Structure 1
Amino acid sequence: MLRALVALSRQALPLLGLVTTTRAPEQTGVRGALDRYFLVSERGSTFGREIRGGLVTFFAMAYIIVLNPLILGTVPDDGFTGSFIGGDPELAIARVAATTALIAGLMSILMGVVAKFPLALAAGMGLNVVVTFSIATLPGMTWADAMGIVVLEGIIILVLVLTGFREAVFRAVPRELKTAIGVGIGLFIAFVGLVNAGIVRTPLSLGTPVDLGVGGSFAGWPMLVFVVGLVVSIVLYVRKVRGALLIAIGAATVLALVIQAFAGLGLRSVTTTADGLVAENDTGWMLNVPELSGSPVQTPDFGLLGQFSLFGSIEKIGLLTVVLLVFSLLLADFFDTMGTMVAVGGEAKLLDADGNPPKTRQILVVDSIAAVAGGAGSVSSNTSYVESAAGVGEGARTGLASVVTGVAFLLATFLAPLVELVPSEAATPALVLVGFLMMSQVAGISWTRLEVAIPAFLTIAVMPFTYSITAGIGAGFIAYVLVRVTQGKVREIHPLMWVAAAAFVLYFVRGPLTALL
């Protein structure tokens, strides 16, 4: 009775005006509208975290502005004897850089606005290598033909999303296998960070596949920059300092600028001779030199936009070869994004009980449109970047972070020289720390259940060892089906898992198939 009277009084007193209730004031104006649209408060985030997270993601993946031009802009088509992309070798690199930043900016903003998910996009590393060395350089092929194949792949994958097939395949994957994908990607991006910083590299002796630094030890000022960046990020993260990763990137960049000003280091380069590998300036910067030459502002050249031939490749290399090439790109795009959004969503605590992120279809639609946009812009297929997890590690939880990353990319079309001031050695410590954060998800895998443990292990191991998210997912899918069949539990295998596993078998033997056909 007493509890009932107390409860009644709590309800009645405010109505009588004897007690006033207090509510958290709702934000109004533009800030309030942004908060409600992007679900900032609802997901437990703040505008400060989203901005910091978006900037951290940008700096973690800004290397693509430097690397994509070096891959696409330095190789002639048609059996390495034809023309450079865009037709003018002197403008190729600048055009690819500007258009790479433009497409990445637009697609990242689109992801943030439509899917409201903290996932940024840019030209896919690995995919750009395939487009360059496996498609554009085929005898008779042109860069326009190669980009047409990318557009075709994007259109097909968009149709698969709109028909629900791509989302259905994603939902057919067992939850613990999705967890393994996230863990594998954590190890993968940590490995990427160590490689891009030069901490892990191929030894000149080729005695082992990889080695620590130079001759098994740390040597050179750039490695010091990485170590300082990693130490600062760990200390600030452990101390729960807001903006830990962004502060660490900034501090390491300042140190790099000071070192470069006094030491005048150049880029590290490796050449292959009859005697093996020879490194020039082995203690130099890995990807870009942190120095400003000329004006920090430059007018972007978007002359590559629209330079693609949708069906020109068919008459050059035949329909069957085109189909195989499209299939290879499609499968990589199809499952790379699946793994990336699971990894990022898991780190952001946004996955549901089945391991699915919110607005899965919208995420996949934007990612498919990005593939088309990348081909149409002649910068290779654009895809979701696992480096987005670095922004999530900084606190990002919504699409507002993706918008911030996109705006930064758009500014980079004019401020490319400033972006290049941040060396990979200063940005990659964030990837290593985020790899640790994503590795913690391994506790969610039942290692005593063989039908889960074996596919999970192969997924986690194959990704960093092959430098391929797609290969890791494929190994896990095939192993899952194999173990289930061995256990006599065929009926428990989802039909779409059979389809995916069969597709991966073809993917793994596509080289011999292409040669045979």
Structure 2
Amino acid sequence: MTQQSTEPQTVAEDAGEGSRQPAGRSWLDRYFHISARGSSIARELRGGITTFMAMCYILLLNPVILGSVGDVKHHTLAQPALVTATAFAAAISTLLMGFIGKVPLALAAGLNVSAALTTQVVPNMTWPQAMGMCVMYGVVICLLVVTGLREMVMNAIPLPLKHAITMGIGMFVALIGLVKAGFVGPGKGTPVTLGLTGELSGWPVLFFCFTLLLIFVLQARKVPGAILIGIVAGSVVSIAATKFGGLTDKDWGGAPPALHGSAVSMPDFGLFGHVQFGGWDKIGALSVGMIVFTLVLAGFFDAMATIIGVGTEAKLADDKGRMPGLSKALFVDGAGGAIGGLTGSSGQTVFIESASGVGEGARTGLSSVVTGLFFAACLFFTPLTQLVPAQVAAAALVVIGSMMMSAAAHVDWSDRSVSIPVFLTVGLMPFTYQITTGVGAGVIAYTAIKAAQGKWREIGPFMWVLTGIFLVYFSLHPIEQWLGVK
């Protein structure tokens, strides 16, 4: 009863209509509206710690994705610098969400954005140029928020395609995890094979399978922090097997997991500010535009749904989905793209794991501040990530992919005008190793099928424009050949 009677008051406060909170509250309570939202400082602290524990696996996974790919100059990013950049960007973005958005949402490097960077962006340019793309996409999203176009675009793209994009990126991320673990790779006489010989070949692949199965079991039993527990357990088993089982560099295909020196070190800010704008003339303006569009798509759709979903779970949203500080939260989420580019860690986005903190009682931005401070503390414990094998961390990528596939429940598979575009979107992303290809195929198929059915009004002007852009994109190479450009 107390929360229901005070929540409209909270909305008014965030709308700038003045504070009505009882006198005598601490400045912390007044600033974050802790009492007004039916929470307490203890709950916010507990919620912030829980959220951090649920999502700190990103400190391991993001460096695995970004650190294994070289740019056009064959330059790869150093692992210690990547861990620092990931922690630093997460800390800044989450602290901004806490102090400005004042909602219990935490941000970190989006694995979908990182996947798009490594597979579609970096092969065509240098890492500083790729991070420049991140800054650009973050600015674009901020402009969409300020102008109100973000919600308009969300409404223009059909809901089934939104679910398809989420599922496709999930499959893509899962495939990256399988490849990183060595579970899937080039085969002899077949496109892919299991392990190296059709069987589970090598100890690292076995550690991957152990970690993956353990996380799935823990999730099925609804154990909080299942991903983190699984990664820690997999790392312990890997280290124990290496030490007592006599595993060598040859068994690991490289250096085995071990702590070299102290567990504490100064952060490596070597990637900070390495951003370059321009120099994209070799790939063309259209390709640059499509890359930015791909990054916007990768970081765009889940964020709004996550913000509203977690806000509703925290009982901050009304019956129309409105919640205090929504526009500010969306802006901070967009700014996360630019922050990720400037720090060298990939675009930042809101994490659904924020719901775990809400489940522990978090209702305000104070919990986000706590989560951000924990990420900041991780800047000084970078060497600990050396204890986690890449194969163990890769298991979490597969788990994340499986979680994103839950959107399939919202698709009407009996309607062919829906199921065909969804199938093309989901299937082509991992099979072609390109997010843009899947999105483009889904958009074109949706427009073509709806038009063939005579349902012109269901398509909408924006979808027609998007279809035209993708048609040009897919036809660019033959058009250039025809015109003699290449």
TM-score by length of 2: 0.74
* 1:201 maps onto 2:201 in alignment: no
Match of 2:52 in 1: 54
* 1:225 maps onto 2:193 in alignment: no
Match of 2:218 in 1: 236
Match of 2:233 in 1: 251
Q: CA distance change for structure 1 residues 362 and 71 in 2, over 3 Å: closer, same or farther?
A: farther
> Which residue of 244, 257, 280 maps to 1:290?
257
> Which residue of 157, 167, 181 maps to 1:183?
167
> Which residue of 435, 451, 458 maps to 2:417?
451
Distance in 1 separating the partners of 2:67 and 2:242: 23
Distance in 2 separating the partners of 1:468 and 1:223: 25
Q: Which amino acid aligns with 1:200?
A: V
Q: CA distance change for structure 1 residues 152 and 177 in 2, over 3 Å: closer, same or farther?
A: closer
SS at match of 2:426: helix
Match of 2:18 in 1: none
Distance in 1 separating the partners of 2:122 and 2:238: 32
- Residues 134-153 of structure 1: per-residue CA shift (max 9 Å, x gap): 123xxxxxx76665555445
Per-residue deviation, 1:483 = 0.9
> Which residue of 288, 295, 302 maps to 1:333?
295
- Residues 459-505 of structure 1: per-residue CA shift (max 9 Å, x gap): 22223323344433332222111111111111221211222233333
Match of 2:332 in 1: 366
SS at match of 1:124: helix
Q: Which amino acid aligns with 2:297?
A: F
Per-residue deviation, 1:336 = 0.8
SS at match of 2:115: coil
> Which residue of 402, 411, 414 maps to 2:380?
414
Per-residue deviation, 1:266 = 6.2
* 1:466 maps onto 2:432 in alignment: yes
SS at match of 1:417: helix
Match of 1:125 in 2: 115
Per-residue deviation, 1:258 = 0.9
Distance in 2 separating the partners of 1:40 and 1:252: 39
Q: Which amino acid aligns with 2:384?
A: L
Q: CA distance change for structure 1 residues 248 and 343 in 2, over 3 Å: closer, same or farther?
A: farther
SS at match of 1:62: helix
Q: What is the number of equivalent residue pairs in this alignment?
A: 444
- Residues 57-101 of structure 1: per-residue CA shift (max 9 Å, x gap): 2214523235535546xx685xx6xxx79xxxxx96654553344
TM-score by length of 1: 0.70
* 1:384 maps onto 2:349 in alignment: yes
Distance in 1 separating the partners of 2:175 and 2:319: 28
Q: CA distance change for structure 1 residues 360 and 150 in 2, over 3 Å: closer, same or farther?
A: same
- Residues 334-381 of structure 1: per-residue CA shift (max 9 Å, x gap): 11113443785799696999999977755553343233334434x264
Per-residue deviation, 1:383 = 4.1
* 1:306 maps onto 2:250 in alignment: no
Distance in 2 separating the partners of 1:76 and 1:445: 39
Match of 1:3 in 2: none
Per-residue deviation, 1:185 = 3.6
Distance in 1 separating the partners of 2:464 and 2:402: 32
> Which residue of 64, 78, 91 maps to 1:105?
91
* 1:164 maps onto 2:148 in alignment: yes
Distance in 1 separating the partners of 2:44 and 2:64: 31
Residue identity over aligned pairs, in percent, reads 35
Contact 1:54 1:401 in 2 (8 A): no
- Residues 417-452 of structure 1: per-residue CA shift (max 9 Å, x gap): 102322233334444445444434423222222221
* 1:486 maps onto 2:452 in alignment: yes
For the pair shown, the structure with the greater C-alpha radius of gyration is: 1
Distance in 1 separating the partners of 2:320 and 2:431: 25
Contact 1:229 1:249 in 2 (8 A): yes
Q: Which amino acid aligns with 2:85?
A: T
Match of 2:242 in 1: 260
Distance in 2 separating the partners of 1:196 and 1:435: 14
Per-residue deviation, 1:215 = 0.8
> Which residue of 48, 68, 72 maps to 2:66?
68
Distance in 2 separating the partners of 1:57 and 1:507: 36
* Stretches of structure 2 lacking an aligned partner (at least 5 in a row): 1-24
The RMSD of aligned alpha carbons is: 4.3
Match of 1:4 in 2: none
Distance in 2 separating the partners of 1:202 and 1:360: 46
Q: CA distance change for structure 1 residues 49 and 179 in 2, over 3 Å: closer, same or farther?
A: farther
Distance in 1 separating the partners of 2:219 and 2:268: 40
Q: CA distance change for structure 1 residues 490 and 381 in 2, over 3 Å: closer, same or farther?
A: same
